[in-house]
Amino acid sequence: MPNIVVLVKRVPDTNAKITVSGGSLDLSAVKFVISPFDEYAIEAALRHKEANGGTVTALTLGSDACDKVLKDAKALGVDNLVRLWNQGWENLDSNGVQSALASAIGDLGSDVVYCGKSAADSNAGSTGPGVAERLGWTSVSNASAVSFEEAGVEAMIPTSSGQARVGLNFPCVVSMDKGEMEPRRPNVRGIMMAKRAVVEVISAEAPTPTVNVVRYSPPAEKPPGKTYEGAGNVPTVVQALRNEAGVI
């Protein structure tokens, strides 16, 4: 029966207002959630287990503040919670994150890894393929649906001319897009299980970061819009759309 791992990432609530002070991010008043595409990965992992048995392990990389997103995954029905962390990992770059995750996934003896196609904070989309590359595993990205075989999965992925159904043998990494698999809601029974669940903390080696953040700055303020009222302004609006906005 498959050993299924799902990667979950703690990100700021996608509605949160992010402020920058002194060149660094101020996240002190921000609510954190599971990255939205990871919800689809959890759903795929749980359906995989429901179809073929096995166990689902939710894995995250981060400090103990990340235990909450693991507990949220537990409330949805995953079996095991594992957090990967080492002192000095506060500024790990993508290379370091992928190496550390690949090492942990190897140690967990996984057959298949599900993750979101990108995280809501960085939007980089590099974790799934990056982990697969380091492990030398088969990988597909942006899957909108998956079905489960004895020794692999079939995934629906976008192509330049539509969609393709591709087969992957274990071991493999599938990064999930929003698609046909509507993520489930938690229930009280799951929340009670989450309360009692224990997060296993493991560590790994990671290469020294080669990419360093120089400074953060907020995006430029959007210029205020213009308001026109009355039918008499139609020519003005048309001119503005053509000459200023360049959209018609």
Partner 1 sequence: MWCRLLERVEGVYMPYEGLDFYDVDSLLTEEELMVRDMVRDWVEDEVLPNIEKACSDGVFPDEWRVALGEMGVLGAPLEGYGCPGLSYVAYGVICQELERGDSGLRSFASVQGSLAMYPIWDFGSEEQKNKYLPKMASGEWIGCFGLTEPDYGSNPGDMITKAEDMGDHFLLNGAKMWITNGTLADIAVVWAKLDGVIRGFIVEKGDEGFSAPEMKGKYSLRASVTSELVFQDCKIPKDRIFPDIKGLRGPFSCLNNARYGISWGAIGAAQACFHSAKEYALSRIQFDQPIAAYQLVQNKLSWMLREITKAQLLSYHLGKKKDDGTWFPEQISLAKMNNVDIALDIARMARDIHGANGILDEYCIMRHMANLESVKTYEGTHDIHNLIIGRHITGIQAFTRTA
> Contact residues for partner 1 (CB under 8 A)?
13-15, 33, 36-37, 39-40, 68, 71-72, 75, 120, 178, 182-183, 185-189, 191-192, 194-195
Contacts of 183 (CB under 8 A, 6+ apart): 39, 40, 42, 43, 76
Alpha-helical runs (H) found in the chain? 36-52, 67-76, 94-107, 127-135, 188-196, 234-239
* Separation CA 133–CA 146 (nearest Å): 21
Q: How far is the CB of 125 from partner 1 (least distance, A)?
A: 13
Instruction: Kindly state the smallest distance separating residue 185's Cβ from partner 1, in Å.
Output: 6
199 DSSP β-pair partners? 81
Nearer to partner 1, 71 or 96 (CB): 71
Nearer to partner 1, 13 or 50 (CB): 13
At 217 the three-state DSSP class reads: coil
Cα–Cα distance for residue pair 87/92, rounded to 1 Å: 11
Instruction: Please identify, using beta-carbon distances, which residue of 14 and 63 lies nearer to partner 1.
Output: 14
CA distances from 25 to 30, 66, 85 (A): 11, 18, 21
Residue bearing tokens 């057959």: 111
| Shortest Cβ 39–partner 1 spacing (Å) | 5
- Toward partner 1, which CB reaches closer, 36 or 158? 36
Rounded CA gap, 142 and 134, in Å? Answer: 19
Shortest Cβ distance from residue 127 to partner 1 (Å)?
17
CB of residue 163 to partner 1, shortest distance in Å: 19
Q: Of 165 and 195, which has the nearer Cβ to partner 1?
A: 195
